[in-house]
Structure 1
Amino acid sequence: MTQLAFHPLRDALYQEMHSRPFQVITSPARISHISVLNSSGGHDEQFHHFQQLFTALGVAPPVIDDVCIQEDIGSFRVRREKHLEFTTYTFIDFSATDDENPFATTGVTPLPDGWLRGLPGQLVTAIHLSVKRSDESDELMIPEVKRHFEGMRLVGSSPQQGDARVWTSFQLHDDGFGRFLICNRRMSDSQIGRLCQRLMEIETYRLMALIALPDAKHCAPALSEMDGQLADLTARLSKGGGLDEPAILAELTDMAARVEDYRAHTTFRFSATRAYHDLVLKRLAELREDEVSGHLTLTEFLTRRLTPAVRTCQSVGERLEDMSKRIDRVSDMMRTRVELSIQAQNQQLLASMDRRSKIQLMMQHTVEGLSVAAISYYSVGLIKLVLEALYDAGVEFDKNLAVGISVPVVIAGVWLATRKIHKHFLALAKEQRSADLADEMARNKAKKK
């Protein structure tokens, strides 16, 4: 084995499955569980504050900021877990008895004074769980349970085929904490530990899933307004006629910017809501609970209240995606109209340029005729000077006859030279026009693709 090449993450992957082990919790016990959102760069501050707790309790603080830190200090247990968005703290006091009020003391009671108030970050979940042994029937248990929940409506559950009873109200009490009362009938310490862990996770994930609901409620009215605005723009485009295209494009750009701003602020939150909701449903299924004396079970209560909220977030997220696509389609329609308008203007401009070129060509032919006459006149004048110089030098010939013969020769030569130059420029123009047509055809093919 020592000669094999191991993946560098092999050991870490094995340890990942054991990074957050279930606790073993004896009955009775008083448990407090809180979750705090992780702020940017706040992990070090939270860990330093966590170390101060150990110092205040008179034990050596942990040195490494692990994913899960658990320490038993006498009859008091401290546990800290790091998650992606939040950090959880669980405090368990095993010194309680079954005879006392289940919420007279809690898991935070042994904490040093002021430590909890100084905890960095924004607190999301705060619940007390009280575990007690009880063999009472439901009829005798319910009146006693109601006294511990300040008269609030109860939600009851009988998990694990009736081996325990779980009572809660899913509301905050006078101390700012929620409450769960667990009456253990036949569960082992390991089973109670797993049950408490699932209840704490259900409450934490439930609240984390609901964080996105205010964002969804904020976006919904604006989306309805933009939906009507977009429908009006589409109707105006379908009717055609004179439209203020720059104003419409500006309106579409403004709507697109607002939609993208909403998406930037909500996409991650809505995705996290779906993930947390799935975790809540999974933890509820693991409870395998039955109804208790006609009370709503945890699953019935949460699926009735939580699922609609999650569906609202999902619906708003889908509406944002749909609105973005619709705006893109309307923008494409507007761009097509603008391009067609530009092409029509270009055709008119080309036609006007074509008419101007024809006029210029006619003027050019006229100028060419005058140019031939002018160049021929000056050329004959130069030839006449040359002939006179030759005659004065003693060469005998008829000057007038020579000048007369040179006139048609010069005119023919000038005319031929002018035509040759003209043909050369026409050939260059045809080559340029062919190149332009080829480029335009290539662009049209690319657009079709």
Structure 2
Amino acid sequence: MNEVPITSRANDTDSFPESRPVLAGWRLHPMRERLYSELHNRPFHLLENPAQLSHLAIQHGGKLQEREQALLTDLCDRFGVVAPADSMPCFHQDFGLFSLRWERHMEFSTYTFIRQAARREAPFQKNAIDAVPRDWLVSLPGELVAAVHVEVEGASAGNSSESLAPVFDNMLPVGSAASAGRAQIWTSFKLHGDGFGRFLVCDDELTPAQRGRLVQRVLELETYRLMATLGLPLAQEVNEVLTQLDQQLKQLTTRIAQVNLSVSDRQLLAEVSSMAARVEDLRTQSNYRFAATRAYYDVIRQRMEELREQEVSGHLTVGAFLRRRISPAVKTCRAVENRLESISRRVARASELLRTRVELVVQEQNQTLMKTMNRRVRVQLRLQQTVEGLSVAAISYYAIQLIDLILGAGQASGLGYDRELMLGAAVPVVISTVFFATRLIHKRLFKGV
């Protein structure tokens, strides 16, 4: 078989058109580049062992973006590093003494300070946030929700409740073997004397990327579990109000069902409208918070699965602890939300029932009014018929007078006839003519009415 020379294959490319961008001339979607970059906005941090991290989650409610950007720019100017662009949702920079990872979310922002160096003190005695200017920290806008220190160190086979007690101020720790048993996570899920929570991550087998992902999941668990439980106090407050509204609605429904002449329908309708307004106000206040609770809880469950925990003998795992404590709070929010929707539907039905009754009363009043109007129309018709009879007599009288004048004028001109006889004969003819002419006009006017 003859082989094709390599030169001839190369020459074949000359037949193709000159290379140029394939997208040239196409109309690109304005969000195309943003959608591509969204997948890479929040990359995991490469974390060496040992390391210390301090993590803050500050709620801003979707506001204060300009103040955040100004503070980040100020911090970068102090240390002589490049500041982030205004549109960046995530920013990571090395400031020498520490590294900062900043992320802006829908209703909160996170600030993670990282120091990768061996410590000489006991765990959590000196933390990454200690290297950050104090005056800059107190200027952070918003309300602090989560604050946690993380210590990353080598694995220790001797970790037990006794050895970990000093680390967590003698609080009972919760721990598990994460990443399929290659790392351990320990925490108390409580605030310590400095107002921060604490996590201890121990491993010797993870790569920097795996370690960074593990620590990131731990920080997200702490942040999202607090954000998820923000709905619980609101649910408890709303539930108390709903208990009062439920009782009022029962009494109101009973009063609507009874025929009580002492209470007007207008008064009942005003009470129902006031109750409906209160229910809608509660829905406006709580809908976003309850929806956010559901969304955060979904993220928590996903992050717990990604930890791939294994039980450490004698200790409750992090995932089991969170499911046991957060699930009731989330279910409470869902129950209150469902109860709020149920009361809203019941108020709507009561309002509809009352409006129906009011409409029936109005229809009865309209029927009574129509009957009264019908009687008045009949009376007016009788009066009109009476007037028509009188008008026939009046018209006939004046017509006969005209005929009398005409007959008198003819008799004066020398015509020989009996004036009285002709006038008498004209009377029934005139009356009949006027009567039938009036009836004809009446029929034409009221035809189709």
- What TM-score, normalized by structure 1, do the two folds share? 0.89
Greater displacement, 403-412 / 268-277: 403-412
Separation (CA, whole Å) in 2 of partners of 1:194 and 1:66: 21
Q: Give the aligned length.
A: 426
2:384 to 364, 368, 372: 364
Separation (CA, whole Å) in 1 of partners of 2:38 and 2:96: 28
Separation (CA, whole Å) in 1 of partners of 2:240 and 2:306: 38
How far is the alpha carbon of 1:308 from its aligned partner?
A: 0.9
Contact 2:57 2:223 in 1 (8 A): yes
Separation (CA, whole Å) in 2 of partners of 1:229 and 1:392: 99
How far is the alpha carbon of 1:61 from its aligned partner?
A: 2.6
1:385-416 Cα distance to aligned partner (Å, 9 max, x none): 23323433444443223322321122112211
Contact 2:54 2:112 in 1 (8 A): yes
2:164 is matched with 145
User: Which amino acid counterpart does residue 390 of structure 2 have in structure 1?
Assistant: L
1:435 is matched with none
How far is the alpha carbon of 1:375 from its aligned partner?
A: 1.8
How far is the alpha carbon of 1:326 from its aligned partner?
A: 1.1
SS of residue matched to 1:34? strand
1:217 to 236, 247, 257: 236
Separation (CA, whole Å) in 2 of partners of 1:14 and 1:60: 24
Separation (CA, whole Å) in 2 of partners of 1:214 and 1:390: 113
1:48 is matched with 70
1:119-145 Cα distance to aligned partner (Å, 9 max, x none): 112121111111111332334xx3232
2:39 is matched with 17
SS of residue matched to 2:223? helix
1:107-160 Cα distance to aligned partner (Å, 9 max, x none): 211112311011112121111111111332334xx3232112122222112112
1:183 is matched with 202
Contact 1:270 1:313 in 2 (8 A): yes
Separation (CA, whole Å) in 1 of partners of 2:253 and 2:435: 64
2:370 to 328, 346, 350: 350
Structure 1 unaligned residues grouped into runs of 5+: 430-449
Give the CA RMSD over aligned residues.
Answer: 2.0
Question: Do structure 1's residue 232 and structure 2's residue 251 form an aligned pair?
Answer: yes
1:199 is matched with 218
Separation (CA, whole Å) in 2 of partners of 1:387 and 1:108: 130
User: Which amino acid counterpart does residue 321 of structure 1 have in structure 2?
Assistant: E
Question: Do structure 1's residue 323 and structure 2's residue 343 form an aligned pair?
Answer: yes
Relative distance call for 1:143 and 1:39 in structure 2 (3 A) is: same
Contact 2:62 2:107 in 1 (8 A): no
How far is the alpha carbon of 1:39 from its aligned partner?
A: 4.8
Separation (CA, whole Å) in 2 of partners of 1:74 and 1:374: 119
Separation (CA, whole Å) in 1 of partners of 2:212 and 2:62: 32
Runs of 4+ in 1 over 6 A off after TM superposition: none
2:353 is matched with 333
- What TM-score, normalized by structure 2, do the two folds share? 0.89
Question: Do structure 1's residue 295 and structure 2's residue 315 form an aligned pair?
Answer: yes
1:154 is matched with 173
Question: Do structure 1's residue 128 and structure 2's residue 130 form an aligned pair?
Answer: no
Greater displacement, 250-259 / 385-394: 385-394
Question: Do structure 1's residue 31 and structure 2's residue 31 form an aligned pair?
Answer: no
Contact 2:269 2:351 in 1 (8 A): yes
Contact 2:155 2:184 in 1 (8 A): no
How far is the alpha carbon of 1:28 from its aligned partner?
A: 0.8
2:107 to 85, 88, 92: 85
SS of residue matched to 2:447? helix
Relative distance call for 1:280 and 1:249 in structure 2 (3 A) is: same
How far is the alpha carbon of 1:64 from its aligned partner?
A: 4.2
User: Which amino acid counterpart does residue 163 of structure 2 have in structure 1?
Assistant: E
SS of residue matched to 2:324? helix
Separation (CA, whole Å) in 2 of partners of 1:277 and 1:191: 24
Relative distance call for 1:290 and 1:367 in structure 2 (3 A) is: same
Separation (CA, whole Å) in 1 of partners of 2:129 and 2:403: 122
Contact 1:37 1:87 in 2 (8 A): yes
Contact 1:56 1:112 in 2 (8 A): no
How far is the alpha carbon of 1:200 from its aligned partner?
A: 0.8
Contact 1:138 1:293 in 2 (8 A): no
How far is the alpha carbon of 1:194 from its aligned partner?
A: 0.5
1:164-215 Cα distance to aligned partner (Å, 9 max, x none): 1111111111111111111123222111100110011111111111122222
User: Which amino acid counterpart does residue 198 of structure 1 have in structure 2?
Assistant: R
User: Which amino acid counterpart does residue 252 of structure 1 have in structure 2?
Assistant: V
Relative distance call for 1:366 and 1:63 in structure 2 (3 A) is: closer
Question: Do structure 1's residue 399 and structure 2's residue 419 form an aligned pair?
Answer: yes
1:270 to 290, 295, 318: 290
SS of residue matched to 2:152? strand
Relative distance call for 1:308 and 1:202 in structure 2 (3 A) is: same
SS of residue matched to 2:202? strand
